[in-house]
Amino acid sequence: MDRPHIGFIGLGIMGRPMCANLIKNGYSLTVWNRSRPGIDEVTGYGAEAGASPADVAARSDVIITIVTDSPDVQQVVLGPQGVIEGVRPGSVLIDMTTMSPSVTREIAEKLAEKGAEMLDAPVSGGDVGAKAGTLSIMVGGKEEVFQRCLPVFQAMGKNIVHIGPNGAGHICKLSNQIAVAVNMLAGCEAIMFAAKNGIDPQKMLDAISAGAAGSWMLSNLAPRIVRGDFAPGFMVRLAQKDLRLVLEAAAEQALPLPGTSLMNQVWRAVEAEGGADLGTQAAIMPLEKWANFRLPRD
């Protein structure tokens, strides 16, 4: 697929820098968002504004969606003035939302009736990876469709893996979210343990991050915890949405996930204190409260 025209729906924390990278790599974009600020920012990069998801689809060879949850994808794809009303035979919908694998498969079937293809391609790497164009992208769908769209993925990410058929990308992303959530708890506990024992938590992080304990979380989010920076790269409420999807899918398989369930409760404690829109690193707050010990911060 040689420089397809791209439609992009969902211009939030992730979508805006992803659009910037597509434009930087020579792609022309038509965009749509439910609120105006995202549209204004991305049209400032050189994109055109679409009137609706259907309009975006009618003007595009590849349509990318990255919204909040399964119902949001259903609305912008299958709802009134949705993608399905404008999509052309041979077009490809790439959904990069983290959502239900079963809903993904249902949408793929509906699009197939219109002669269009679908790839589910959720991402990992947060706003940092979105800005740098280094996202990890895990893709479900037909191999030949994946190969056609690979250059588009390469404009936004570095680690791009075809996982399997439709839905497989979302299963892989939910596996990623399990690892991220439990790693967040481990990092928070390590910081609390060091600080409570009188050790500078940043020096502890400097010491362990290059060893066996090293992780993306320790390198990128743990320093924010130490500084008291809870600005969202990824909001608690969105992490909780992902864990809800994980736990629902696990329940269908009668699969126990004790660490994931515990982290769901930690973030629920953050939400109970009004922190749903904070970054996921706010997981430290309940630990501080339970220990009756606040980390030293400037």
d(CA 67, CA 47): 18
Neighbours of 69 (CB within 10 A): 18
Dihedral (CA of 182, 183, 186, 192) sign: negative
* CB < 8 Å & 24+ apart, contacts of 160-164: 160/136, 161/136, 161/137, 163/138, 163/139, 164/140
Per-residue burial over 86-113, b = 16 or more CB atoms within 10 Å of its CB, e = otherwise:
bbeeebbbbbbbbbbbebbbbbbebbee
d(CA 214, CA 118): 36
DSSP state of 294: P
Q: Which of 142, 158, 173, 241 is catalytic?
A: 173
Q: Give one DSSP letter per residue of 90-103, joined into a string.
A: T-EEEE-S---HHH
Q: Would residue 173 show up in a list of annotated catalytic residues for this protein? A: yes
d(CA 77, CA 253): 28
Q: Name residue, tokens 């949405």.
A: 241
How far from 82 is each of 40, 85, 95, 96, CA to CA, in Å?
21, 6, 14, 17
d(CA 213, CA 207): 10
Residues labelled as active-site residues? 173
